[in-house]
Amino acid sequence: MDFANIHILVCVYVLQFTMGLVYEVVSPTMDELKAVTSSSDEKMALIYSLRSTGYVFGSLIGGRIYQFTIPLLSLCCAVCINSVTIGLAGQTYNIKLLFSIFFINGFTTGMMDVGTNVWILRLFSDRSGPYIMALVTSFSLGTVLAPLYTAHFLQEFPSPGETSKIYIPYLITCVFELVALVGLIYLLIKQSFLRYEKRNFFARREKNYADGNTDEPSNQESTSLNMKIIIFLALCMIMVYSGMEIIWSEYLIPMLNRSKLNLSSSTTAKIKSTSNAAHAIGKIVFIGVTAFIRPDQIILFDSTIITISTIMLLIFYNSSSTGIWIFSVLFGIGTSSLYPSIYPFIQTFIAVDYIKGSYLICASSLTDVIAPILIGNHLESTPNLILYLELVTMAIVFASTFSIKILGSRLLSHESINNNENGAYQLR
């Protein structure tokens, strides 16, 4: 790996780390934001909805912005706007203006997520597994740090009349993001001094196709039925699986609290914390493992672990707390590397450009809105419904993986035949 790629990876990982800060700095400050804006819980809840809505639009529109502009310049603009909005959020006491700020912040976050993920995919193609895994881990580390420095500046009992220091954690987050922006601007300046054909860092590839050709797959393939089906299956798999992870994260404790084992709140919290720790450790371990194992093998391996864990949790849900502990941890390990492996798996068969990448990122965010609606109305009557939905999810993941594998192999075989025929024609 050359120095340019190392520099790009450092910038991208620092940026994803700051995106984790931006994402998580809001949650600990919600009560104080409510106090300083004199708002109700219902209005404050709109902040999450508007930010998620902005993220969906940003991921969709961002792909086209990257496609028809200078990608690195567009990414720099998105980071700049994102840092300004998060800095202003802690100093804005007008709730309507705060809504606008968080919508814009979500929009630029969606753009940034598309830019960083597609950048890695186009740099390393089907060998991008470890790099995507490290990308997700960088974001997770940011979500861990944000609450730690935010807690020092929060009021113990927020009230509208007291002087607030809530702007400080938001400014700290803004400064972190500006550091990432400086690195990106350096890359942009460095790119401007290269020859035209070498300028676009986003287009650099390290992939060797089966036919030995390092060019992008033919644009004509984008109209093929196989490719459209692969993209559709990938969107379904990402949307359904991402929803499953969200449901597990948000509803594990409420589900366990409704078990007939009468688990205490502290016990269920510890189970959730242990499962999260296993998830985080699994991410770190799999950064190295993914360099030696194909993405589809990781997906199938993780899906098997998740399926076994879910079945065992269904068995022990009302009968054994020890079983719940063991298989909650195993579930956390299984989910640690599946999602980051989907992107390089798709990239094995088709070139994920900015527009395709925007669809994939958008699919992962749609379930932020859908998942709570599916579970909330049935949590009291059927608390273990979550586990049944996860089994359905795994069935979809298995079916999608095998289908994409078969269709993708046909696509590459067809491409290889066409290239051989073109080569034979040129020899004549």
Q: Does the model's pTM come out above 0.85?
A: no
pLDDT computed for residue 125 by the predictor: 74
- Spelled out in words, what is the top-level CATH class assigned to the domain 219-422? mainly alpha
pLDDT band at residue 49, thresholds of 50, 70 and 90? confident
More confident residue, 256 or 164: 256
DSSP states of 191-255 as a string? Answer: HHTS-GGG--GGG------TTS--SPPPGGGGGSHHHHHHHHHHHHHHHHHHHHHHHHHHHHHHH
- Is there a common fold for 3-201 and 219-422? yes
Question: What is the three-class DSSP state of 155?
Answer: coil
Span 383-404, pLDDT tens digits: 888 899 899 999 999 999 999 9
Contact status, residue 279 vs residue 329, Cβ threshold 8 Å: no
Q: Which residue matches tokens 């359904």?
A: 240
pLDDT computed for residue 46 by the predictor: 79
Contact status, residue 115 vs residue 62, Cβ threshold 8 Å: yes
For residues 191-195, average pLDDT? 69
| 170 closest CA partner among 21, 16, 47 | 21
70 Rama class: left (phi>0) / alpha (psi -120 to 50) / beta: beta
More confident residue, 309 or 148: 309
Question: What is the three-class DSSP state of 353?
Answer: coil
Contact status, residue 130 vs residue 9, Cβ threshold 8 Å: no
Q: At residue 317, what is the residue type?
A: Y
pLDDT computed for residue 307 by the predictor: 95
DSSP 383: T
Of 107-111, 242-246, 331-335, the range with the lowest mean pLDDT is 242-246
| 54 closest CA partner among 20, 19, 99, 22 | 99
Of 11-25, 57-71, 248-262, 311-325, the range with the lowest mean pLDDT is 248-262
Compute how many other C-beta atoms are within 10 angstroms of the C-beta atom of residue 169: 26
* Helices marked H in 258-294: 265-289
| 254 closest CA partner among 393, 381, 394, 390 | 381
Vertex 169, ends 168 and 172: CA angle to 5°? 90
CA dihedral 309, 405, 364, 307 (to 10 degrees): -10
Q: What is the CATH number of domain 3-201?
A: 1.20.1250.20
Contact status, residue 341 vs residue 290, Cβ threshold 8 Å: yes
Q: At residue 161, what is the residue type?
A: G
Task: Enumerate the domain spans of the chain.
Answer: 3-201, 219-422
Span 198-211, pLDDT tens digits: 545 544 433 433 33
For residues 353-369, average pLDDT? 81
pLDDT computed for residue 207 by the predictor: 41
Joined tokens for residue 5: 């790629």
As a whole-number percent, the residues of the chain with pLDDT over 70 amount to 83
Span 267-283, pLDDT tens digits: 887 888 788 888 888 88
